[in-house]
Structure 1
Amino acid sequence: MIIVTTDFVPGFEVKELKGFVRGSTVQSKNIGRDILAGLKNVVGGEIKDYTKMMDEARQQAIGRMIQHAEEKGADAIITLRLETSSVTSAASEIIAYGTAVTLETKD
């Protein structure tokens, strides 16, 4: 699956638009991470557990978006976007979305 943030893929033409695709996940904090986060707020620095958690959430959302595109028969996703929103004070949603297409090589 080719995935790009642009509305085109160099060397290819869009053969067919398959439509909007998306994937999302909601991740919540846990007590262990919150304790470490509280300590980092005192001394400063990156909260690596949260960084890892959000990276995993992005990968899961992208994976679900790819699955949605494959179900539509696409071989690429153009105009990929990622967004994060707070669902509650202890949970965030990550959503990945874009346009599913099929491609053909330029002549």
Structure 2
Amino acid sequence: MNHILVFTSEQVAGKQISQHLGLVRGNVIRSRHLGKDILAVFRMIIGGEISEYTKLMAESREQAIDRMVDEARELGADAIVDVRFTTSMIARGAAELLVFGTAVKFEANN
């Protein structure tokens, strides 16, 4: 299984892009958990990081990235450039996290 590099920039230092394979994306829709919401409300009252939500978002980002990378791998990409994240509310208590970028191939001598 080839390793896909992921970059937020349009270009990659030391690499020449030979082919743009197209848009790749990964998304995940997550809802909050009632038990975690209760803890979060308590933390909002006393202040501090809401670690339950931090963990939920970190897991969601990783899952979305994994899905995007899988899509790029199916196209035979070497990397994904110009990667961006976006979120949107789907329903009360549920949100989508979407990551997208452009799958590319590098010149063989790079």
Pairwise TM-score range, normalised by the shorter structure: over 0.9
How far the C-alpha of 1:104 sits from its partner, in A, is 2.2
Q: TM-score, normalised on structure 1?
A: 0.95
Matched residue type, 1:69: A
TM-score (norm 2): 0.92
Give the deviation of 1:19 after TM superposition.
Answer: 0.3
Q: Which runs of 5+ in 2 are unaligned?
A: none
Higher mean C-alpha displacement, 69-78 vs 97-106: 97-106
Equivalent pairs counted in the alignment come to 107
Question: How big is the alpha-carbon RMSD for the aligned residues of Structure 1 and Structure 2?
Answer: 1.3
1:96 is matched with which residue: 89, 99, 103?
99
1:30 paired to 2:41: no
Identity percentage of aligned residues: 42
For residue 7 of structure 1, what is the amino acid of its counterpart? E
1:52 Cα shift? 0.4
- Structure 1 residue ranges without an equivalent (≥5): none
Q: 4+ residue runs of structure 1 moved beyond 2 angstroms?
A: 104-107
- 1:24-79 deviations in Å (ceiling 9; x for gaps): 00011011111001101211111101100100000000000000101111110000
Which is richer in strand? 1
The aligned counterpart of 1:68 is: 71
Q: Quick check: 1:17 aligned with 2:32?
A: no
